[in-house]
């Protein structure tokens, strides 16, 4: 059975937001079509960004390629290595560290987050699943991808088709079947003092 984890909300939200969740059970036989792959990148490309500077850069690795194998074996932290290799693609998101004048490009991380959110939403629309990975060995991954020193890796995103939770074992299986939880609105909406 394919796991469903629809968000429980106090008011309706768009189905692509409610249905998205981060699985670790990916179908190791599914290969993203070229149309799916481009659609994800287009969704990311059309995100908003500060001054429309679009600082996001995407390195796309496909399962079966030598670079994918190297990235998942040396570029991910231990737990992530256990499940990510079954995804069809690993998309590594990087941004420039600095502006052209040498000052830190702090807002680039925010811009990249918006692009990633678009990509995740589009994946749900296409019936695909994504799992963002922050647990990276960034120096190794950067070297594997041949990234310039001016770029900083933000996250990697595993993309593929959902598989049944039972295809996982141990802690990954336990986490796969846990319900999704969130802080209550009361805890995150701040009210100024009168
Ligand atoms: C920036 C970021 C980094 C993350 N890093 C990891 C990771 O290294 N390994 C992992 O299994 N999940 C990782 N996640 C997935 C989160 O644990 C997951 O999004 C969160 O528990 C909420 O669950 P949901 O996406 O299913 O709603 C990451 C998510 C984000 C946004």
pLDDT tens for 26-45 read: 999 999 999 999 999 999 99
Q: Look at ligand 1, atom 31, and give the residue with the nearest C-alpha.
A: 132
- Specify the pLDDT at position 2: 80
Check if 155 has its Cβ closer than 6 Å to any atom of ligand 1: yes
Segment holding 115, helix H or strand E: helix 107-125
User: Which residues are CB-contacts of 48 (< 8 A; sequence separation ≥ 6)?
Assistant: 111, 114
Nearest CA to ligand 1 atom 18: 22
- The SS3 of residue 90 is strand
Q: Tokens 């069809």 sit at which residue?
A: 88
The reply to whether the predicted model has a pTM over 0.85 is yes
Distance 167 CA to ligand 1 centre (A): 19
Look at residue 109 in the predicted model and tell me its pLDDT. 98
**Contact between 36 and 168 (Cβ < 8 Å):** no
| Sign of the C-alpha dihedral computed for residues 111, 181, 178 and 161 taken in this order | negative
CA of 135 to the centre of ligand 1 (A): 9
15-164, CATH topology level = NADH Oxidase (3.40.109)
> Ligand 1: which atom is nearest the Cα of residue 76?
8
pLDDT at 73: 97
Per-residue pLDDT at 77 = 97
How confident is the model at residue 96, as a pLDDT?
98
> For residues 67 and 143, what is the distance between their CA atoms, to the nearest angstrom?
11
- Kindly give the parts of the chain with pLDDT less than 50: none
* Contact 80 CB / ligand 1 (< 6 Å): yes
């Amino acid at each position: 059975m394919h796991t469903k984890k629809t968000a429980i909300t106090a008011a309706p939200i768009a189905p692509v937001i409610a249905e998205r969740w981060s699985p670790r059970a990916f179908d190791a036989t599914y290969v993203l079509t070229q149309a799916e792959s481009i659609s994800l990148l287009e969704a990311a490309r059309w995100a908003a960004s500060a001054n429309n500077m679009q600082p996001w850069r995407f390195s796309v690795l496909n399962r079966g390629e030598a670079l994918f194998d190297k990235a998942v074996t040396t570029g991910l932290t231990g737990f992530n290595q256990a499940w990510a290799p079954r995804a069809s693609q690993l998309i590594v998101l990087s941004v420039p560290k600095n502006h052209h004048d040498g000052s830190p490009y702090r807002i680039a991380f925010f811009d990249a987050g918006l692009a990633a959110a678009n990509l995740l939403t589009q994946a749900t629309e296409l019936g695909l699943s994504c799992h963002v990975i922050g647990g990276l060995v960034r120096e190794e991954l950067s070297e594997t991808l041949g990234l310039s020193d001016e770029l900083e890796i933000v996250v990697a995103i595993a993309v593929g088709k959902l598989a049944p939770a039972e295809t996982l074992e141990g802690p990954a299986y336990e986490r796969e079947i846990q319900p999704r939880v969130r802080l209550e609105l009361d805890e995150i909406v701040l009210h100024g003092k009168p």
